[in-house]
Structure 1
Amino acid sequence: MWPFRKTETRIATSDPFLGEFLGARWTARADIEKASGLAVAHRAVQTIAENLAAMPLKVYREAENDDRQPAKDHPLYGVLHDNFNERLTAFEGREMLNASMLIHGNAYARVERNGRGQVTALHPLVAGSVTVEVLKSGRLRYKHALPDGGTETLLQHEVLHLRYRTADGVLGMSPIQIAASTFGLAVAQQDQAGAAAENAFRPAGALIFPDKLAATGKENVITKFRERFVGALKANEVLILDGGAKFETFQFSAKDSEFLESRKLSNLDIARVFGVPPSIVGITDNSTYSNAEAESRALVMRCLAPMARRIEQALNSALLSPEARKSFLIEHDMSGLLRGDLVTRYNAYRIGREGGWLNVNTIRAFENLSNIGPEGETYVQPLNMGALGGANDNRSKLDDAA
């Protein structure tokens, strides 16, 4: 017997294919590109990305008394509002970054600055072409693989990095990877439906012969049968069997296995992962006219608003210097998405006007109407209202007005 104990070497790996080959239990996994191509996933990503890109994103200049005005003279204002760069509009660039963050968990853009350090352009990068390194100083370094095979190295201040939920503060995690079981099941169901459609939804069956066939004979029969009858374009072919052969189908329909209901549940799960109401992604089974507006408002409050705040803080941190952040602020204008119907808006304006905190020009600006001049800057309040404890003074003012 060998007197020495053999040293055991173990290698840790997260490769699911290697683990399955070595006998590990199957764990759910989903290919990001394939999973993002699911109809519900695509609609959810596109809805969030488009709405955030369409929402006004402005650079504000902060003044005294917490007053702020759009800083249209700042170079960054035009980048976020008009054109990302000479090839992409601001909408296209923002949509690209939002979709990349929702699909891959990370979105990158190379920052171009002028001599004063102000941002003059943003150049989105493909998420799969960027690797992130943590330097000893704690700052990040980005390596971007160029199309010609080369590599460019970018420092942290040269890159805008948007992250989905992060576990290490360096890289974001893709929601598709976080909910791999949900997307893996949905992809498998779609593949199964595609395979059934390829055979025109005809059930599988068995060819039964009265006599035993040789092994080569079985293979020849199966091959010829597939060539002649398997496939959607061969659904109406005539089947002729001789020699006492019979064809018996296996009667397992999609309804019997509740396959369609299972696919509906998977679609609902995908909508839950992205935090969008079912009707937003086209699932209208339980939708009514009364809850459509409530679901649209839920999309803004529960999905778009947190995502907008995530993006705003990343933009402020990456595109404005610590000194500039004392005077400037990047923020989405969500008022357009939160506006109600015409009657609701006008009632709200009336309350604000009579309460004394809205004037005519402010209300017209909300409705994208032109300014009417100085007379629209006046504020009013009901005559029966006044400062607390100033009843006698208010009475005299009423008498003078009379």
Structure 2
Amino acid sequence: MKLFGYEFRKISKKEISQVSAYGGTGLIQLASREYPMLLSTVYRCVDLISDSVAVLPLEVFRLDEAGFKMKDTKHPIYELLDLEPNENMTRYVFIKTLMASVLLTGNGYAYIERGEDGVTPIQLVYIPSNQVSIQWIVDKEGIRRKRYLVSGFTQLVEPCDMIHVLNFSYDGIIGVSTLTHARQTLGIATSSEEHAAGFFKSGAAVSGVLTIEGARLTKEQKEQNYKQWEERSNSNNGRPGGIVILEGNMKYQPISISPKDSQLLESRQFNVVDICRFFSVSPVKAFDLSKSSYSTIEATQLEYLTDTALPVITKIEQEINRKVFSRKERSMYKAEFNTSAILRADKAAQGAFWKDMANVGAATPNEIRREIGMSRIENGDEAFVQVNVLTLKNAVKEKMIEGNQE
């Protein structure tokens, strides 16, 4: 069964009990995410969101008793998270692939392969979502427990060994693809693209009826007229929009509406905005600059980071922290994306940020130089503050001393 470009099949009652079905419809989506990706807006939104997260370094920090963080590059999983999650992927490829799966299928899976001690992760292996399903088991206490049934695995995978990043979810167990909610819009957008392609393929010509008044043509004469019209107006013969001469008793009447009359261009532009809504991406980020200005673009960038990128980053961080680290390590270690990498391409914003950090004594010169890729300097490990800034208490004291001296 096909619906809006997606393939569906009937599933058995046994599969329904294993997989969190949507509304008891008995329909399960098969892997068909390539079809919507042919739409430029969908491609751009998925590529943008997955890239925004994949470019950020994923670093391990050690927490002290006061909650202060220090980067711990010697931790066994530091290189695993920040450089090479598995033997086939870099961190960038791994995160980008995982996020594309989340957006297009609703779920992103990565199996945690652990070492001989059964605790230390040695690989994070990406698993396509169509190879994973949810199965429920009943433990000795009669409680239903979630397990992952993975194609090719001989045993069920426990949740602690599977990184599972969900998209929007109704039950917190299975994520729902963004494309599922946008299916009607994608169907309209696809129809618009197909209509536009057909229109341009036909030489941007409309269909019509050719009438010949006061004459009854034979079959051979009709075929001759068809042939001449085809030779003059068919775009495939190198004469798109060719001129056709009509005799005195001939009349041409178009029967299909033009793209302008059918609002083809307006609907295609609206499709961009509507699809962007589902992905929580501003149309400006999808290169729709019809209603934008410089100030709009600047505000859009900030809005995108807070409303779109930050929730995704938080979602991945929390899933990794509760699965990769043991229970004993959770209070001492934490994996976080280094969001300062976003400023690497914006030197003005980067300079303003570190200047403010230096002025309040929050960063030393060497710390700043390290972050911007410069070498250490002598006597650069001390923090500085501006001398013309006082606490309110000291300011009152100085005022009182001045009054007494007078």
Task: Report the counterpart of residue 137 of structure 2 in structure 1.
Answer: 135
Structure 1 unaligned residues grouped into runs of 5+ = 1-11, 17-30, 397-402
Q: Deviations over 1:287-306 (max 9, x none)?
A: 22333222222211111011
- CA gap 1:384/1:43 in 2 versus in 1, 3 angstroms: closer
Task: Report the counterpart of residue 25 of structure 2 in structure 1.
Answer: 14
The offset of 1:223, in angstroms, is 9.6
- CA gap 1:352/1:316 in 2 versus in 1, 3 angstroms: closer
The equivalent position to 2:123 in structure 1, one of 121, 124, 147, is 121
Task: Report the counterpart of residue 38 of structure 1 in structure 2.
Answer: 39
Task: Report the counterpart of residue 85 of structure 1 in structure 2.
Answer: 86
Q: Is the 8 A contact 2:344 2:350 kept in 1?
A: yes
- CA gap 1:88/1:382 in 2 versus in 1, 3 angstroms: same
User: Is residue 191 of structure 1 aligned with residue 197 of structure 2?
Assistant: no
- Counterpart of 1:65 in 2: which secondary structure? coil
Q: Which moved more, 1:163-172 or 1:216-225?
A: 216-225
Task: Report the counterpart of residue 95 of structure 1 in structure 2.
Answer: 96
Aligned pairs for 1:2-401 within 5 A: 14=25, 32-116=33-117, 117-136=119-138, 137-146=143-152, 153-208=156-211, 232-234=235-237, 236=239, 247-250=252-255, 252-337=257-342, 341-382=346-387, 385-386=390-391, 388=393
Identity of aligned residues (%): 25
Letter of the 2:42 counterpart: A
- CA gap 1:234/1:358 in 2 versus in 1, 3 angstroms: same
Letter of the 1:372 counterpart: I
Letter of the 1:133 counterpart: Q
Q: Deviations over 1:294-345 (max 9, x none)?
A: 2222211111011111111111122222222111111111123257954554
- CA gap 1:127/1:347 in 2 versus in 1, 3 angstroms: closer
The offset of 1:128, in angstroms, is 1.6
Q: Is the 8 A contact 1:365 1:371 kept in 2?
A: yes
C-alpha distance in structure 2 between counterparts of 1:226 and 1:320, whole Å: 73
The TM-score with structure 2 as length reference comes to 0.78
C-alpha distance in structure 2 between counterparts of 1:171 and 1:119, whole Å: 25
C-alpha distance in structure 2 between counterparts of 1:15 and 1:319, whole Å: 35
C-alpha distance in structure 1 between counterparts of 2:111 and 2:400, whole Å: 65
Q: Is the 8 A contact 1:145 1:152 kept in 2?
A: no
C-alpha distance in structure 2 between counterparts of 1:319 and 1:134, whole Å: 23
C-alpha distance in structure 2 between counterparts of 1:77 and 1:212, whole Å: 85
The offset of 1:259, in angstroms, is 1.0
Q: Which moved more, 1:128-137 or 1:302-311?
A: 128-137
- CA gap 1:258/1:361 in 2 versus in 1, 3 angstroms: same
The offset of 1:346, in angstroms, is 3.8
C-alpha distance in structure 1 between counterparts of 2:173 and 2:164, whole Å: 10
The offset of 1:376, in angstroms, is 2.5
C-alpha distance in structure 1 between counterparts of 2:115 and 2:95, whole Å: 21
Q: Is the 8 A contact 2:115 2:122 kept in 1?
A: yes
Q: Is the 8 A contact 2:361 2:383 kept in 1?
A: no
Letter of the 2:326 counterpart: S
C-alpha distance in structure 2 between counterparts of 1:64 and 1:374, whole Å: 29
Structure 2 unaligned residues grouped into runs of 5+ = 1-22, 402-406
The offset of 1:142, in angstroms, is 2.0
C-alpha distance in structure 2 between counterparts of 1:156 and 1:361, whole Å: 43
- Counterpart of 1:376 in 2: which secondary structure? coil
Q: Is the 8 A contact 1:352 1:358 kept in 2?
A: yes
- Counterpart of 1:107 in 2: which secondary structure? strand
C-alpha distance in structure 1 between counterparts of 2:400 and 2:170, whole Å: 64
- Counterpart of 1:111 in 2: which secondary structure? strand
C-alpha distance in structure 2 between counterparts of 1:276 and 1:73, whole Å: 38
C-alpha distance in structure 1 between counterparts of 2:147 and 2:231, whole Å: 59
Q: CA RMSD in A?
A: 3.6
Q: Is the 8 A contact 1:229 1:235 kept in 2?
A: no
Q: Is the 8 A contact 2:132 2:148 kept in 1?
A: yes
Q: Is the 8 A contact 1:197 1:232 kept in 2?
A: no
- CA gap 1:380/1:40 in 2 versus in 1, 3 angstroms: same
- Counterpart of 1:281 in 2: which secondary structure? coil
How many correspondences in the alignment? 367
The TM-score with structure 1 as length reference comes to 0.79
Task: Report the counterpart of residue 14 of structure 2 in structure 1.
Answer: none
